[in-house]
Structure 1
Amino acid sequence: MTQQMKRVSVDIGGTFTDCFVAWGDQQVQAKALTTHHNLAQGFNEALTEACRELGVEVGGLLSQVDSVRYATTLGTNALIERKGPRIGVLVTSGFKHTIPLSRARGYGEGLPEEEQMDIPNAKRPDPIVPIPMIREVRERIDYLGQVFWRLDEDDVRLRIRELVDAGAEALVVSFTNSVVNPVHELRVREIFLEEYPGHLLGAIPLLLGHQVAGRKGEYARSQSTIMDAYLHATMYHGLGTLELNLRGQGYDKPMLVNHNSGGMAQLNSTDALQTVHSGPVSGIAASEHLMLAAGLGNVVATDMGGTSFDIGIVDQGGVKHYDFNPVIDRWLVSIPMVHLQTLGAGGGSICSYDRLFRTVKVGPQSAGSDPGPACYDRGGMKPTVTDADLILGYLDPKNYANGHIPLNPRRARQAFEELCDDLDMELADVAKLVKQTVDANMANGIATELRTKGYEPRDFTVLAYGGNGPLHACGIAEVLGIDRILAPPFSAVFSAVGAGSTNQMHIHEVSTWTVLFDPAQKRFFDDYASFNAHVESLEQRGREDLTRQGFAAEDIRYRLELDMRYGNQRVQTAVVTDLNRVHSQRDVLRLIDQFHTRYGERYGAGSQSPETGIRINTIRVCSYVEQRRMAFGGIQDDGRAGQSVQPVGSRQCHFVGHDQPVDTPLYDESALAEGTRIEGPALVTTRATTYLVEPGWRYYAAAQGAVWFTRGGH
């Protein structure tokens, strides 16, 4: 961010609400517990803390900032709690059971691998839409977009009336092949408004499948639209409350919401489904920006918060890792979302006895923020990772979360009593086992995520951020077998930093059957007009989105992405190209060459099979406007040492691999001064987080509060 930038960005997590404020040449961070009943309360507490440090009034700050940006897990929580409206669905006649059948794989999607393999005990999740709330409509469009069976409008009126009478609070229309020709879905909306004008049922939203998801696949598109409708009210009221809160404090600009696509938009241009996992995705966006600004090379972003551990990959070659059919909660959807792997390994992860292996199990259940870990003294009774860290001596009971959450060691010890009995081990040994287990779980998650995509962990810089990231960084690196790990600037609120540094962006896509090379006829694609028309249509949709939000058309940039495959392979490869239009066979050959190269990079040279044919299944256009971002610099270890810092005390700490407690020096905020070097073991406790330097490791403070953990010759 430039010197004069004034901006507030917020990441509302499952446990903490993180706030990052850029105020001219000052940058401050603050945290507060997430208040799920009213998100504005936690936001106000965090912002008030930031304003206190800046020496300005909240109203004065909000009246001067250029934007307020939110990343939130509100949608995720609504799905977990199953708090949503009663939904009615209209589908093509003959396709009533497509949704409940869920491609016959619904029993396993969203579950851990070991549960997916347990087929005898397989159980589908309770449906968001029960079968009696699904109605068939007489209509049919074929795969080419031609009307095969005209829409029966009297039938539509009858089915809508049945769903409304059955108590539907939201309506979804998802017809087969509507992404190729949406004429029937559009007509249903007209009929709905004719039958039920806004003054009668204005509070009932009606969503069309082709507008939510632009790719083929009846089930994934229908489920995407259903989930969007299911989250609509929660997001509308939750984010609406946040916006009203801002208005009441002097902020008069549009509120911006981060998307799980890696971009952001105004609240009135945001679908509810786009907000799911937007907090962790903002951290990945910040990691990409840091990688480019500091020249870090390949980066794996790891966010250890209070509830979960999120992993994302940032490739220095610019390859975007998306999930085009991600599983959200227990359902497959069809939206382009930045790839994210989530493990149940946060500070609030609950520890239990694994009777099969006679050891400790960590997560995936979490104590969250209410009641939180036992040591929070808010009613939590079960042992958590944070309780173990306190028992091991890593946390300062009087200075946790800047002193806002005093920790109760006695409660932590009581929570572990039953686990100690089950394991027949001393308290400190059980706590060390918990740390060893959770560190191994996170390290194995990182290694699996990288190696399944053809990468090696040693070729990546691991970023450890989130409230608990720097506390477990050394333990994760030990298991990974790497000697270098980075806690980035403002690591405790790094996802909030990312929320303030993303571009205003929209992604639109359309399914297509574009054969670039037909091996049977030995022909190359030559219908350039149809391809260019698709691209122009998608660019126009993005342009309308952004101009509606006040941007000039000349400031909008476009990125074309194509999902390509060889022959009838199920595997699709996303290809990013700067060739926005096709005008000749040379352009076609260029697209084929880009696909050939990308496929070889991903699956190995020689694995390409052009003799089976090459086709494009999806055309995707990312429309965006570049935003000012935070300026990162001086992050690398230049070998120089700055001022020496003296410890402020010492504490007995327990470490994995050491039978006896170790007298560990304690440092405060002054250890973040650039150039500071500390030999482990050591603890650096700041207002926002705790940096644990384990025995054999070294600590180096780079610019802007970034910290390197190294060992050996590094």
Structure 2
Amino acid sequence: MRRVSVDIGGTFTDCFVVWDGKYIEAKALTTHHNLALGFNEALGKAYRDLGLELEEILAQVDSVRYATTLGTNALIEHKGPRIGMLVTAGYEATVPLSRARGYGEGLDILGQQDLPNAQRPDPLVLPHMIRGVRERVDFQGDLVMPLDENDVRAQIRELVDRGAEIIVVALVNSVVNPAHEQRIEEILLEEYPSHLLGAIPVVLSHQVAGRKGEYVRASSAIVDGYLHSTMYHALSALEQNLRAHRYEQPMLVIHNSGGMAQLNSTDALQTIHSGPVSGIGASEHLAMQCGLGNVVATDMGGTSYDIGIVVEGGIKHYDFNPVIDRWLVSVPMVHLVTLGSGGGSIASYDRMYDTVKCGPESAGSDPGPACYDRGGMRPTVTDADLLLGYLDPQNYAGGSIPLNPRRAAAAVEDTLCDELDCSVIEAALLIREKVDDNMANGLFTELRARGYDPKDFTMLAYGGNGPLHCCGIAQNLSIDKILAPPFSSVFSAVGAGNLHQLHIHETSLYMVLYDSNSRRLFDDYVRFNDIVADLKERGTQDLLRQGMAREDIHHSLELDMRYGNQLVQTTAVIPRHEVRGPADVLAIIEQFSEDYGKRFGKGSQAPEAGIRINTIRVAAFVRHETVQFEDIKPLPAERRKSPPPPSSTRTCHFVGHAGAFETPVWSRAAIEPGMQIAGPAIIASEVTTFLVNPGWNFVAARQGASWFLRA
């Protein structure tokens, strides 16, 4: 297997190369003005280890896979085109009203409890850029009012005159009958043919989201349209860079559904959070292969801290209506929580509470933390880590980024010391304590909200800063086991290389499996089977277009079900994809009852209210060869070995401990599997730093994995 996988983050571009059984990891600063430059630099470090040239690698690899936060950043920064929108006449206010509570989406709990004072997000489409067209289709897809094509042409011209750069079409009930949306696309191309300079892209809502729910489907299409140009140009530039260096295969893009596809089969909305989702995919793969049981995946990079849960058996949590930035959308996405806590998180004085505040604003890669000596003037978490002695100024990021302690000290002193009446070291300890507390609180809230006890989980700490902060986070949660997985600094890039090509198609409907009034079971088997077959074929055709063989394509079937008119839906994975009689219907009901009972407690099932299906969802996928992890469980205590003498010592300060510690420092390359080191200690590598707090033990495992065990 020869493969290149890349995770382009807000601060660093991570690269993982698999070359005939050899695994190589490399990092470089993200070059936001041209992502290809950061990619070439990171890959350059990898191919130098192989003794090859860039063209030699790209000409021989079987695939290049990209995960990126580019879309997330563009949405947060509000950098997008002017959108024009066509809706069914009479529904022009659906998006601005946003269900009357939409401006609470994306706020924290306190913000959602005080909606009258909540600040609305700046709209992605302005109200005067929304136009109604005369047409109507009912909930079953039957025609009520034909499309007035003259009206459509007039509305399109008015939107273009007002400066629309992209047209989003979201008509009522278009998921059950998309004919009018499709005809509007044809009319737009007739008015503004693609060969004309300035031709306008069009986004149809039924192609972006296949479920009912007018507002969430419209907002999904808006977000997709808003990111379309940014993602198209950035990813096209990456693909052109590959072509220029003799790579001839299609470029693959990671999706937030936990799969991937070629660029020409990817919507912009599917790339949101694809980097963190790749890390969760790698966590699932590692947990299943090595028998780790319940794991909580934590990815601390330069900009954010991402949390994902994988329970025993490899079951992932999905969001089917996730909130992206401040917008509720309708797209199946692997569930994760993102906090604005990373190495680049900016520290400031919190005047209200007379303490330190960390994040969510980040210094990013340009100018970066003050210690990068690139013009940054505000203190960050990385500056605090440097001042506390954890980082080597001469060998940070393998020596590619020399750090300036004087700049870090000046930034901390100017911003915090006078306000808090403390020394630079005391201020740095406050920064460290605050950021670790923020991440621990986010982790605790996520686990407890889903009914889990943190003590039942192994914490996976990865990302460039994960092993540096993991002990401080875990000791606040009574977590006793932390695993820095193999290739921890580029673990999300490892995950990008392990995902399968996958497409998810779904449709909303009203299908009663059990009618409690008439006490009848569902018997329209042809309707159910035809819908499933259609969704399967759509996914199959997606993969066939990408060159996959039909015999390699597999499918999984999921049903969103609920009792009666309950608002809560439960997703059931159905092993049998055809319904041929009452026994098959009862098997579906039994599967739903079992899943419902696991989620809400045995005895909570309510079949007397009736049972119905709201969504049918089919995932079509092709499995690919994956990276294999070795057995990484720590050796028993009696079989562990002592480490060699440390290479040096460093003066370090730790939260909760008075005075300084003369802390021994080892090179990660000198630590063999089975060796144990008692904290405080530092184990340094070219790509990350492993900090062992007092009261913890570091135990080396195979394949570069490392355990932190509470003493």
TM range (shorter): over 0.9
Q: CA deviation at 1:316?
A: 2.1
Q: CA deviation at 1:582?
A: 1.3
Give the structure 1 partner of residue 498 of structure 2: 501
Quick one: which of 364, 368, 373 aligns to 1:372?
A: 368
Give the structure 1 partner of residue 576 of structure 2: 579
Give the structure 1 partner of residue 703 of structure 2: 704
Aligned residues of 2:192 and 2:200 also touching (Cα < 8 A):
no
**2:486 paired with 1:486:** no
Quick one: which of 150, 153, 157 aligns to 1:157?
A: 153
Cα distance in structure 1, aligned partners of 2:2 and 2:404: 38
Cα distance in structure 1, aligned partners of 2:590 and 2:426: 57
Aligned residues of 2:368 and 2:376 also touching (Cα < 8 A):
yes
**2:36 paired with 1:40:** yes
Cα distance in structure 2, aligned partners of 1:665 and 1:623: 52
Q: CA deviation at 1:85?
A: 1.4
2:190 match: secondary structure: helix
Q: CA deviation at 1:461?
A: 1.3
Aligned residues of 2:259 and 2:503 also touching (Cα < 8 A):
yes
**2:381 paired with 1:382:** no
2:539 match: secondary structure: helix
Give the structure 1 partner of residue 266 of structure 2: 270
**2:649 paired with 1:650:** yes
Aligned residues of 2:285 and 2:314 also touching (Cα < 8 A):
no
Cα distance in structure 1, aligned partners of 2:154 and 2:319: 38
C-alpha distance after superposition, 1:130-165 (max 9, x if no partner): 111111011111111111111111111111121122
1:401 match: secondary structure: helix
Q: CA deviation at 1:67?
A: 0.5
1:413 match: secondary structure: helix
Gaps of 5+ in 2: none
Cα distance in structure 1, aligned partners of 2:251 and 2:281: 19
2:440 maps to a residue whose letter is A
Q: CA deviation at 1:529?
A: 0.9
Give the structure 2 partner of residue 255 of structure 1: 251
Aligned residues of 2:458 and 2:479 also touching (Cα < 8 A):
no
Quick one: which of 183, 190, 214 aligns to 1:187?
A: 183
Higher mean Cα deviation, 259-268 or 516-525?
A: 516-525
Give the structure 1 partner of residue 228 of structure 2: 232
Aligned residues of 1:672 and 1:705 also touching (Cα < 8 A):
no
Higher mean Cα deviation, 646-655 or 108-117?
A: 108-117
Aligned residues of 1:436 and 1:656 also touching (Cα < 8 A):
yes
Quick one: which of 466, 471, 475 aligns to 1:474?
A: 471
C-alpha distance after superposition, 1:308-345 (max 9, x if no partner): 00001112234331111111111111100110100111
Give the structure 2 partner of residue 350 of structure 1: 346
Cα distance in structure 1, aligned partners of 2:113 and 2:370: 34
Cα distance in structure 1, aligned partners of 2:560 and 2:260: 23
Residues 123, 315 of structure 1: CA spacing in aligned structure 2 closer, same or farther, 3 A cutoff?
same
**2:443 paired with 1:446:** yes
Q: CA deviation at 1:643?
A: 7.1
Gaps of 5+ in 1: none
2:364 match: secondary structure: coil
RMSD over aligned Cα atoms = 1.3
Aligned residues of 1:263 and 1:502 also touching (Cα < 8 A):
yes
Higher mean Cα deviation, 8-17 or 342-351?
A: 342-351
Q: CA deviation at 1:183?
A: 1.4
**2:628 paired with 1:631:** yes
2:559 maps to a residue whose letter is L
Cα distance in structure 2, aligned partners of 1:188 and 1:359: 56
Which structure 1 residue ranges, 4+ long, deviate > 4 Å from structure 2? none
Cα distance in structure 2, aligned partners of 1:163 and 1:644: 70
2:63 maps to a residue whose letter is S
Q: CA deviation at 1:201?
A: 5.9
Give the structure 1 partner of residue 130 of structure 2: 134
Give the structure 1 partner of residue 291 of structure 2: 295
Cα distance in structure 2, aligned partners of 1:703 and 1:642: 14
Q: CA deviation at 1:81?
A: 2.1
Number of residues paired by the alignment?
708
2:36 maps to a residue whose letter is A
Give the structure 2 partner of residue 521 of structure 1: 518
Higher mean Cα deviation, 512-521 or 37-46?
A: 512-521
Aligned residues of 1:92 and 1:139 also touching (Cα < 8 A):
yes
C-alpha distance after superposition, 1:98-147 (max 9, x if no partner): 01111112222112222333334322111111111111011111111111
Give the structure 2 partner of residue 693 of structure 1: 692
1:480 match: secondary structure: coil
Give the structure 1 partner of residue 202 of structure 2: 206
**2:436 paired with 1:420:** no
2:676 maps to a residue whose letter is R
Q: CA deviation at 1:390?
A: 0.8
C-alpha distance after superposition, 1:439-469 (max 9, x if no partner): 1211121111111111111221110000000
Cα distance in structure 1, aligned partners of 2:390 and 2:405: 12
Percent identity for Structure 1 against Structure 2: 66
Give the structure 1 partner of residue 12 of structure 2: 16
Cα distance in structure 2, aligned partners of 1:120 and 1:207: 33
Cα distance in structure 2, aligned partners of 1:410 and 1:115: 39
C-alpha distance after superposition, 1:341-389 (max 9, x if no partner): 0011111111122222222111111111111111111111111111111
Give the structure 2 partner of residue 670 of structure 1: 669
Aligned residues of 1:385 and 1:435 also touching (Cα < 8 A):
yes
C-alpha distance after superposition, 1:52-94 (max 9, x if no partner): 1221111111111111100011111211222211111110011
C-alpha distance after superposition, 1:263-311 (max 9, x if no partner): 0001111111100110000000000000111011111110000000000
Cα distance in structure 1, aligned partners of 2:141 and 2:11: 47
Give the structure 1 partner of residue 57 of structure 2: 61
Cα distance in structure 1, aligned partners of 2:678 and 2:69: 38
1:606 maps to a residue whose letter is G
TM-score, normalised with respect to structure 2: 0.98
1:396 match: secondary structure: coil
**2:94 paired with 1:98:** yes
1:658 match: secondary structure: coil
**2:599 paired with 1:596:** no
Higher mean Cα deviation, 588-597 or 305-314?
A: 588-597
Quick one: which of 77, 82, 97 aligns to 1:81?
A: 77
Cα distance in structure 2, aligned partners of 1:378 and 1:150: 61
Cα distance in structure 2, aligned partners of 1:624 and 1:203: 34
Q: CA deviation at 1:604?
A: 1.6
Give the structure 2 partner of residue 215 of structure 1: 211
Aligned residues of 2:288 and 2:313 also touching (Cα < 8 A):
no
Give the structure 1 partner of residue 430 of structure 2: 433
Aligned residues of 1:453 and 1:602 also touching (Cα < 8 A):
no
Give the structure 2 partner of residue 660 of structure 1: 659
1:405 maps to a residue whose letter is I
